[in-house]
Structure 1
Amino acid sequence: MSTPRGAARQTEELKAGSRHDLRVGLSPDAPADDDVKDERGTFGYCHSYETSSRYDGPGLRVVLFVSGCLLRCTYCHNPDTWHLKDGTHVSVDQVLRRLEGFAPSINALGGGLTVSGGEPMVQIAFTRLILAGARRMGLHTAIQTSGFLGDRADDAFLSEVDLVLLDIKSSDPETYRRVTGRDLAPTVRFAERLAAMSKPVWVRFTLVPGETDDPANVEGIARLVAPMKNVEWVEVQPFHQMGAFKWEAMGLPYKLAATPPASKELVNRVIGQFRDAGCNVR
């Protein structure tokens, strides 16, 4: 049953779990993903959180997966984070109370908080309050973003972010639109802005055989990021099929069902291209 107009939505428990958990239909009365107008940001929608990631930034990290994304990547392993209606409705206070319990040990292990998704900038006011609260706890903060909504991020928002994990999915506008459904230009614009302000960045590139593996495509990304002194790492992420079950469970047409994982030889070739361009790559 949907919430009557003007009535407050009830919050639910923010659940620990995994980015690989399937969670759908938890908030059917949520707003459309491209129509979030809550400027206060005191409430939002989240998929789940993990407490011991060593993959999403430096040190041991808590990773909060927020809901909502405007891209439709053909190789997405979390399509259940695309829509706010599939997330859990929670308050910023709930998130920060949960985070506070982990803060001392996370700090001691040189880690912090990473807000991923989905796309953190769909619910940008909500995300900003969480990042600000984490910084008050002394935690290092990071966001993982496609950069497509980077124009939404003002300097006040970026001042709460210590590191940007920036997904650059392609250097070719046609390829980018084919694999994401969106334009490349906003991501490039955001990358250049981060470079101009010397904001630390780890560039992430998902290597998908037959989709993003063209040598010219890789070379284009390498040429873009190699001169950027703020880019600390380029991380090559080989495609996998761990999210295929979500597409099937959600009744979504999955075009890459027959796509194999990237071979070791292909991964080494791409790493070599980035290294030859002058990037720190792994």
Structure 2
Amino acid sequence: MVKGKIHSIETMGLVDGPGIRVVVFLQGCSLRCKYCHNPDTWEYNGGVEYTSEELVKKIERYKTYFQSSNGGVTFSGGEPLRQPEFLLETLKLCKKKGIHTCLDTSGFGLGNYDEILKYTDLVLFDIKHYDRAGYKNVTLMEIDKSLDFLESVQKSKTKIWIRHVVVPGLTDGEDHIEKLKEYISNIDGVEKIELLPYHLLGKNKYDVLKLKYPLEGVPAMDKELVKKYNKIIER
């Protein structure tokens, strides 16, 4: 029986895929994104242990809510692909129950992607940066694992929504957005692109965990400017 570590579960998610969704945040992530607002999900030893069966039973309780809105379940994190066996087992059970499955991921996982994607209806793919140097600057890690996952998504022809966090001085500016757009144009199956404005809501978690906040002094992203960037993407 496969067990996994769960950080938290949100039962009425409205921004993590289509419709109303149960959002399951898996524990553990190896990226250290400068703008991360969930540093409490990093450690692999934290969270509450569930078997796949226990988790799916919990998800099923909300089926009436999410099915009426063409919703389902979204596996997020942390990084869900860091618990591949547990994720795969849970996805299989969800599909048996007729639940729409979505994976919110940066692609920085541990493999077995082809099998995982067989049971995934939609991927919300978080592009940290479009080039190697930028990716390393944002996440402190190399881009290769993320590219391997993206290659598997392309091969599987799974539907994909793109997400990109826009941070002042880090991932903003018209030139950056133009290059991002060019990068995305080479990805097949993209149904939607979401530019997410950087906010300061997670800063207090760093204080509680006694961690240094990487973007100290950087203001929240101007939402009007992000609207302007969206027009570049839509053009």
**Length, aligned pairs only:** 235
Contact between 2:82 and 2:108, CA under 8 Å: does it hold in 1?
no
Q: Secondary structure at the match of 1:121?
A: helix
Q: 1:270 aligns with which of 216, 229, 233?
A: 229
Structure 2 stretches lacking a partner, 5+ long: none
Aligned to 1:228: 187
Contact 1:53–1:60 at 8 Å: present in 2 too? yes
Tell me the equivalent position of 1:154: 113
Percentage of identical aligned residues: 36
Q: Stretches of 4+ moved more than 6 A in 1?
A: none
Q: Deviations over 1:156-211 (max 9, x none)?
A: 21111000000001113222111101112332343243234321000000001111
Decide which of 152, 159, 168 is 2:127's aligned counterpart.
168
TM-score computed with the length of structure 2 as normaliser: 0.93
Instruction: Check whether the contact 2:197–2:223 (CA below 8 A) recurs between aligned residues.
Output: no
The alignment status of 1:209 with 2:168, answered yes or no, reads: yes
The answer as to whether partners of 2:197 and 2:221 remain within 8 angstroms in 1 is yes
Is the 8 Å Cα contact of residues 132 and 160 (structure 1) preserved in structure 2?
Answer: yes
User: Quick check: 2:113–2:149 contact (8 Å CA) kept in 1?
Assistant: no
Structure 2 distance, partners of 1:197, 1:158, is: 7
Q: Which is higher, the Rg of structure 1 or of structure 2? A: 1
- Preserved contact between residue 69 and residue 82 of structure 1 (Cα < 8 Å): yes
Q: Deviations over 1:94-127 (max 9, x none)?
A: 2122112112332222110000000011111111
Alignment counterpart, residue 100 of structure 1, candidates 60, 77, 80: 60
Aligned to 1:34: none
Q: 1:141 aligns with which of 101, 116, 119?
A: 101
Q: How does 1:12-31 map to 2 (within 5 A)?
A: none
1:252 paired with 2:211, answer yes
Q: Does 1:51 align with 2:28?
A: no
Q: CA RMSD in A?
A: 1.6
What TM-score, normalized by structure 1, do the two folds share? 0.79
Matches of 1:247 and 1:86, distance apart in 2: 16
Write the letter of the residue equivalent to 2:16. D
How far apart are residue 63 of structure 1 and its match? 0.4
Deviation at 1:89, TM superposition (A): 1.8
Q: Larger strand proportion, structure 1 or 2?
A: 2
Match of 2:25 in 1: 65
Tell me which amino acid in the other structure corresponds to 2:169: G
SS in 2 for 1:46: strand
Say if 2:117 and 2:153, in contact at 8 Å, map to a contact too. Answer: no
